[in-house]
Homo-oligomer: A and B are copies of this chain.
Amino acid sequence: MQISINANRCEPSPMRKFHPLAVAAEKNGKKIYHLNIGQPDLETPPAYYETIRNFNQKTLAYDASPGNPLLIDAIRKYYAGLGVSLEPNDVLVTTGGSEALLLTCLSILDPYTEVIIPEPYYPNYTTFVHAAGGVIRALPTNPWEGYRYAQRERIESQITRNTRAILITNPGNPTGVVLDQDEMRMIADIAKEHDLFLICDEVYREFCYDDKFGVPTMARFDDIQDNLVIIDSVSKRFSACGARVGAVITKNKELQQAVLKFCQSRLSVATIDQQGAAALYSVGTEFFQRSKAEYRRRRDTVISGLRRIPGVVVEEPMGAFYVMASLPVDDSDKFQKWLLQEFDDHGDTVMFAPGAPFYETPGKGINEVRIAYVLKQQDLERAMEVLAAGIAAYQKKVMHVTSPSIDG
């Protein structure tokens, strides 16, 4: 028996691979500040729970394969509010944005075909692209440029005869980069001119911390309807990750048919969660305003905390709820293990996602980390203190640095 080549090409999740060490540390009485997973702590709107409590069908049946019609209507109405008109067939409901990405990759990638993705990127993209036999062609960026990638020549230089798609996350995970209108238009033009799919993972759309961005979506560009695939989800928008409700949104008819075949093969998305998700769309825009204001404060806390640590390189992220930073350590993976196994500051330690798996290019990101600012203000403040103490102790005990910072 043997494991498939594509499965062997995938890596364990960097956000989750330290889970066993974390469990052991907690067993030993350590308190861990979890900055490793983008699991928001904000309350899910009560409409979700009310709806599922009122579910009164005696048999929990499959729902329609392309998605519950009420949920599809709710999503269309939400997009209408963004100025985007969708037909019912343009929305295919999926088990989270994760399934939306997997089914899109299975639908458009053949073995050895390529997807251009700015790096660092969400590491699970690797699994989705590799599952389909595809190859990630990384578009390099740098911490000292704030990880920005939207330059025409940079992107076009990565296009080959094997390129099938450009995949961007906007706002970006892990970088927090948000594209402005001109940048979005430029990338849309590239996709159109080169006849490529443009996969836009816009699950963090509501989290942009400068009003000039509004609620950005590529879906407003009518002229790239055949190219565009939007990856959507209720997870972050409504703080409802455990619902596992997302969508592939596309007007490309061939792609709709292909994704629908995969949707039919897995019968339906969870029935009750779809009804709960439909109810979520009834919450007003104040909900988004409140969430955004809260995350903006948290971002400011994390950024000022990071900037107080000598040797950290970080730019202020403009969206999502992550910050990618370069730390003054030799290897953030090794540092994370050490934080869990060897270190505590008055019983506390901290988890982040080590940077290397966010890169395709070998050797990049080794001293970088992704921090998810999804904890309460005072917990974040404490987490930054613990991180600062951890870096200082690690430099001294493991790296044998004698000055207070490796830059110093």
Q: Is there an interface contact between B108 and A4, defined as CB atoms closer than 8 Å?
A: yes
Q: Which of B1, B108, B132 contacts A1 (CB 8 A)?
A: B108
Q: What is the copy number of this chain in the assembly?
A: 2
Q: Known contacts A41-B59, A60-B243, A95-B270; is A13 also within 8 Å of B264 by CB?
A: yes
Q: Which of B43, B49, B106 contacts A4 (CB 8 A)?
A: B106
Q: Is there an interface contact between A128 and B265, defined as CB atoms closer than 8 Å?
A: yes
Within the assembled complex, what's the spacing in Å between the Cα atoms of A197 and B131? Answer: 19
Within the assembled complex, what's the spacing in Å between the Cα atoms of A95 and B103? Answer: 14
A4 CB contacts on chain B under 8 angstroms: 106-110, 132, 258
A131 CB contacts on chain B under 8 angstroms: 106, 262, 265
Interface centre among A96, A227, A260 (most CB of B within 10 A): A96
CB-nearest residue of chain B to A48: B60
Across the A-B interface, give the 8 residue pairs with the lowest CB-CB distance, nearest first: A242-B271, A127-B265, A13-B264, A98-B266, A7-B258, A60-B242, A124-B265, A244-B270
Interface residues of chain A, those whose CB is within 8 Å of chain B, are 1-8, 10-13, 16-17, 19, 37, 39-44, 48-49, 52-53, 55, 58-65, 95-96, 98-99, 102, 106-111, 124, 127-128, 131-133, 164, 195-197, 226-227, 239-244, 252, 254-255, 257-258, 260-262, 264-273
Complex A-B: 9 CB contacts under 8 Å: A2-B108, A4-B132, A12-B264, A16-B65, A16-B264, A40-B59, A98-B267, A106-B131, A242-B272
